[in-house]
Structure 1
């Protein structure tokens, strides 16, 4: 990632730590609603280790919560290697976040109850008491984000104006995320 930032103006960089980092993670997960959830594939697997997952919750500590089937490839891959990577995108032109974290799988009934929504019955046909339901908790360790400074409207206006006058009016901002 350093090579990407080598020519980045200093005013376009803002690393986030602690409270600011967890706020960014929470906001991005709400806006995105889903992510690409990447695990290390098992040696005999042809899954590729990447799949879309709905983010059920991002708590005040920036921890991300998911519901998953106990017999899924992802759960088996997490058991073998708990290191995961998540890719989030909030909108078409802004709000990108990649997170590296540690995943754990549990059958915490209280957490399942808190995360449950009726649409989940699509995957868990016996409802919130389906014995296949597990909870995946991802504790982010580090990440990187790309966004715009002033919101989509200002960024789009600057892009259109820059294209019309032939000048770069960059409204981007990026930096490391360290919860």
Structure 2
């Protein structure tokens, strides 16, 4: 994947760290999760969930990201596994997480999951003033004017 579009994705995802995620081959719909991001991690994001959550069993999964402002869209796939490193759990535990899990970080019903990203497809929209004018007036927008698109490792 192009380095610029990869950087655009991670920067936008950091400001809007929400993802719809679903285990592959599982019944039901994807659900929204708040990603715990680590600027030093490559190809991994974390989530806190209850052990009875539909994604808690882990396995192959797919997630969709649409960032605030709708400037980046992504579909990423990989494997969900339980994070067993307690220092990672400690690092990512914060007041926002505590609001969802008021019994605290030692609550045995709370699991931390790591999503090891294998690849993805990213669309970065940057139509600028000219593109916005075309949208308002109904003038055709050509694919090269809509932004960038890339496949590969995120």
Same fold by TM-score, threshold 0.5 exceeded? Answer: yes
RMSD between aligned residues? 2.5
Give the secondary structure class of the aligned counterpart of 1:161.
helix
Say whether residues 1:166 and 2:139 are aligned partners: yes
Larger Rg: 1
Whole-angstrom CA distance in 1 between matches of 2:138 and 2:55: 49
Give the secondary structure class of the aligned counterpart of 2:56.
helix
Gaps of at least 5 residues in structure 2 are none
- For residues 34-81 of structure 1, give each alpha carbon's deviation from its aligned partner in whole angstroms, at most 9, with x where no partner exists: 100111365xxx6x14110000114431311111222322112x1xxx
Which of 2, 10, 32 is the equivalent residue of 1:26? 10
What displacement does 1:108 show? 2.8
Whole-angstrom CA distance in 1 between matches of 2:51 and 2:102: 14
What displacement does 1:87 show? 0.5
Distance 1:75 1:64, change over 3 A: same
Give the secondary structure class of the aligned counterpart of 2:32.
strand
- Alignment map for 1:2-17 (pairs within 5 Å): 15-16=1-2
What displacement does 1:146 show? 0.9
Distance 1:22 1:175, change over 3 A: closer
Q: When the two structures are superposed, what TM-score results if normalisation uses the length of structure 1?
A: 0.71
Gaps of at least 5 residues in structure 1 are 1-14, 150-154
What displacement does 1:27 show? 2.0
Aligned residues between the structures: 150
